[in-house]
Amino acid sequence: MEFILEGFFQAIHLLITGNAETYSAITATIKVSSCSMGCSLIMGIPLGFCLGYFEFKGKKSIRTIVDTLMALPTVFIGLLVYAFLTHRGPFGDFGLLFTLPGIAIGQAILALPIVIGLSATAVESMDKKLRTTIMSMGANRRQLFLSSLWESRHGILAGAIAAYGRVMTEVGISMMVGGNIKWHTRTITTAIALETNKGQFGMGIALGIVLLTLALFVNISVSFLRRRF
Amino acid sequence: MNAPTYEISSLTHFYNDNPVLDIRHLEIADSSIVGLVGPNGSGKSTLLRLLGLIERPTRGKIRFNGRSAEPFSDETRFQITLLPQEPLLMKRSVFKNVSYGLKLRGKYENLGDRVGEALSLVGLSEEVFARRPWYALSGGEIQRVALAARLALKPEVLLLDEPTASVDAVSAQLIKEAALRARQEWGTTLVVASHDWQWLYEICDNMLHLFRGKIFGTGRENIVFGPWQELGKGKWGKKLSDNQEIRIPEPPDKDALAIIDVFSVKEDNLEKGPNHITLSGTISLLSLNKITGLVHATIIVGSHPFTVGLTDQQIQAQAIYPGKTIWVQYSIDDIKWI
């Protein structure tokens, strides 16, 4: 019990004194998660909206595939991305293995089905009377589409938060594709795993606190946005 | 002569292969007020959705101001607006809800004044309500904000689907007044579906009775539903809750609908012609029909309402007033079937 308490105080010390190694992992995490979330939101929101909004042949099958991909294990994504990015793989020439963009690609693959699936659910659960309301006010097809998207914003935002939580806390992709290289591709989660293995609980707990603080910051921001819009 | 606002010909509409509307011909004149009456499921809301160009009819044409009208068409989408039965407010403030349609039309000038004017038409204060979010309103306020959003557009056609069905008396009165002002101030054509017959009688230039998707009268017909039963000795009819019998000729089928023409009301049942049936009932409602000038008396026989049009002289001569027990008379020979 004592070593946990010690670790907690060490965490505060590391954060206050601006420990370079700690801040390197924090920076790497923010970089890759921002990049992967940006990509998955840009692709996932329109795809999810279309999946929920339009009726077409094969919709149920696509929905089942997306729902299945939402539960993809991170180590499996790590393995696949590793296979594609390694020198022997099809994208080996790009030299992305053991880089932050490599991790971002893996995390985007992790987040994309979550954004698509939860956006589609948000759109499907929209009130069916919304279409009549928007059309009766004189909207054309484009305005109907954009207004419907805006009306489902809260559900889509919830999906984005869920995806962000998954991306921030994953270890498998960062470890396999990034290689956990100090000062370079070490993220918060891989650093926690390593430091714990080394018995360095202080560093591990410090990084855990940072992770929680980041999650809190994101949720407060989203909560503010929801109230504002 | 101007083309009618709406002209419908040979229109049929289906939901999942079930026919819901079948209208051979219908014209709605410019700046008129048309009432739609009929039981639930008769096709009133569907007709309003088609007139509002929310849906395309399965077959047939709707012409608007002499031109063929389609959903999303640039010629019509700014002229027609529909207030659905249970209107939905979008997830934004009252101000943004009311100004939404104006923004779609690119009318950004004096937006605040227009919104304020529309809100005041439905009896809502701009200062109190404009900034309120959509979730902080009562049912009646939602209905009034939704109507304000339509009135702000000064539409050429305003379609109202049961606008007062789920609101209190004060909200209902404000909604009724606001809808009428649209006609008075901007010459708006109003098509109103409602069960509030008294209101419709007061305001409408024309009434249409819809039943099972078909228009077949002016809304003043007495329709009696089956099932009919053989009462013995070749007589057919239906026993009412007070043990009286609605007698009919042999029906085409046991569930057929009978249109019964009540030709007189009397204080006694002494005089009876051949095949004349008299039934005792209580007058429950008197309302003036603006179109015919007759007073319509609704008489509850058993639990079934019969309506009969009476002149001023008849009202005075027989001292007709709500609550009075009276006899209604009809002829078996005049019964029509649907």
pLDDT band for B296, please (50, 70, 90 cuts).
Answer: confident
Decide if A2 touches B, using CB distance below 8 A. Answer: no
Average of per-residue pLDDT values in chain B: 89
Task: Kindly state the DSSP code that residue B92 receives in the 8-state scheme.
Answer: S
Tell me the backbone φ, ψ of residue B7, rounded to 5 degrees: -140, 120
**C-alpha distance from B153 to closest chain A C-alpha (Å):** 8
Residue B316: count of CB within 10 angstroms of its CB: 10
Gap between the Cα atoms of B137 and B91, Å rounded: 12
Tell me the two tokens of residue A193. 């795993």
A128 touches chain B (CB under 8 A): no
- A43 interface with B at CB cutoff 8 Å: no
Instruction: Confirm if B62 and B8 have CB atoms less than 8 A apart.
Output: yes
Indicate yes or no: CB of A147 within 8 angstroms of CB of B90: yes
- Chain B residues in contact with A136 by the CB 8 A cut-off are 52, 54, 81-84, 150
pLDDT at B261: 83
The domain locations on chain A are 2-228
pLDDT band at B218 (very low <50, low <70, confident <90, very high): low
The reported pTM is 0.79
Residue range A129-148: mean pLDDT, rounded: 95
Q: Which of A129, A131, A138 is closest, CB to CB, to B101?
A: A138
Average pLDDT (A142-167) is 93
Tokens of B79: 């002229």
Indicate the range of A114-128, B53-67, B308-322 predicted with least confidence: B308-322
Are the Cβ atoms of B91 and A154 closer than 8 angstroms? yes
Distance in Å, alpha carbon of A33 to nearest chain B alpha carbon: 30
How many other C-beta atoms can be found within 10 angstroms of the C-beta atom of residue A17? 9
Q: Which residues of A touch B53 (CB under 8 A)?
A: 135
ipTM: 0.79
d(CA B9, CA B85): 26
Q: Which residues of A touch B149 (CB under 8 A)?
A: 137
pLDDT score of B155:
95
Q: Is the pLDDT of residue B22 over 70?
A: yes
The confidence score (pLDDT) of residue B219 equals 63
Measured CA to CA, the distance from residue A83 to residue A89 in angstroms comes to 6
Which class in CATH covers the domain with range A2-228? Answer: mainly alpha
Give me chain A's average pLDDT, please.
92
With a pLDDT cut of 70, the percent of chain A lying above it is: 100
Cβ contact, residue pair A141, B72, below 8 Å: yes
Q: Three-state SS for B133?
A: strand
Is pLDDT above 80 for B270?
A: no
Asked whether the beta carbons of residue A129 and residue B74 sit closer than 8 angstroms, the reply is: no
Res. B200: pLDDT tops 90: no
pLDDT value at residue B304: 82
The answer for residues whose C-beta is within 8 angstroms of residue A133's C-beta and 6 or more apart is B84, B87, B88, B89, B90, B146
Q: Minimal Cα–Cα distance from A135 to chain B, Å?
A: 6
User: Mean pLDDT throughout A160-178?
Assistant: 94
Cβ neighbours of A194 (radius 10 Å): 18
Q: List, in sequence order, every residue forming a beta bridge with B87; answer none if it has no partner.
A: none
Determine the distance in angstroms separating the CA of A160 from the nearest CA of chain B, rounded to an integer.
Answer: 19
Instruction: For residues A174-187, give the mean pLDDT.
Output: 94
* Residue A68 confidence (pLDDT) above 60: yes
Q: What pLDDT, on a 0 to 100 scale, did the predictor assign at position B271?
A: 67
A18-56, pLDDT tens digit by residue? 889 889 999 999 999 999 999 999 999 999 999 999 999
Tell me the mean pLDDT in the region A144-173. 93
Contact A151 B91 (CB under 8 A): yes
Q: What is the pLDDT of residue B196?
A: 83
What order of strands is seen across the sheet that includes strand B222-224?
B222-224, B258-260, B336-337
Q: How many Å lie between the alpha carbon of B80 and the closest alpha carbon of chain A? A: 7
Q: Which residues does chain B have within 8 Å of residue A153's beta carbon, measured at their own beta carbons?
A: 91
A154 touches chain B (CB under 8 A): yes
- Please give the DSSP secondary-structure letter assigned to residue B338: -
More confident site: A128 or B166: A128
Buried-state track B285-302, b at ≥16 Cβ within 10 A, e below 16: eebebeeeebbbbbbebb
Percent of chain B whose predicted confidence (pLDDT) is above 70: 98
Residue A59 is which amino acid?
Answer: K
Residue A81 scores a pLDDT above 60: yes
Interface residues of chain B, partner chain A, Cβ below 8 Å: 49, 52-54, 71-72, 74, 77-78, 81-84, 86-91, 100-101, 104-105, 146, 149-150, 153
What pLDDT is stored for residue A67 in this prediction?
95
Best residue in B70, B104, B105 for a mutation probing chain A (most A CBs within 10 Å): B104
The per-residue pLDDT for B276 is 85
**Mean pLDDT confidence for B283-295:** 83
d(C-alpha A55, C-alpha A51), whole Å? 8
Residue B273 in this model has a pLDDT that exceeds 80: no
Angle between helix A20-53 and helix A59-69 axes, rounded to 10 deg: 160
Secondary structure string (H, E, C) spanning chain A = CHHHHHHHHHHHHHHHCCCHHHHHHHHHHHHHHHHHHHHHHHHHHHHHHHHHHCCCCCHHHHHHHHHHHCCCCHHHHHHHHHHHHCCCCCCHHHCCCCCHHHHHHHHHHHHHHHHHHHHHHHHHCCCCHHHHHHHHCCCCHHHHHHHHHHHCHHHHHHHHHHHHHHHHHCCHHHHHHHCCCCCCCCCHHHHHHHHHHHCCHHHHHHHHHHHHHHHHHHHHHHHHHHHHC
Beta carbons of B121 and B178 less than 8 angstroms apart:
yes
Q: Are A142 and A136 in contact (CB under 8 A)?
A: no
Please state the separation of Cα B109 from the chain's center in Å.
Answer: 36
| Residues B292, B246 contacting (CB under 8 angstroms) | no
- Least confident range from A122-136, A201-215, B39-53: namely A201-215
Mean pLDDT, range B132-138, rounded to an integer: 93
Angle between helices A188-198 and A20-53 (to 10 degrees): 130
- Please indicate whether, in this complex, the C-beta atoms of B84 and A136 are within 8 angstroms of each other: yes
Are the C-beta atoms of residues B163 and B83 closer than 8 Å to each other?
Answer: yes
**What pLDDT sits at residue B197?**
77
Distance (Å) of CA A90 to CA A75, A80, A176: 20, 11, 17
Q: Do A138 and B49 touch (CB under 8 A)?
A: no
Count contacts between A and B (CB, < 8 Å): 60
pLDDT computed for residue B298 by the predictor: 87
Inter-chain touch B84–A137, beta carbons under 8 Å:
no
Residue B309 has pLDDT above 90, yes or no: no
Adjacency order of strands within the sheet including B245-248: B229-232, B235-239, B245-248
Domains of chain B: 6-215 (3.40.50.300), 222-333 (2.40.50.100)
What mean pLDDT comes out for the span B162-172?
A: 86
B105–A135 C-beta distance less than 8 A: no
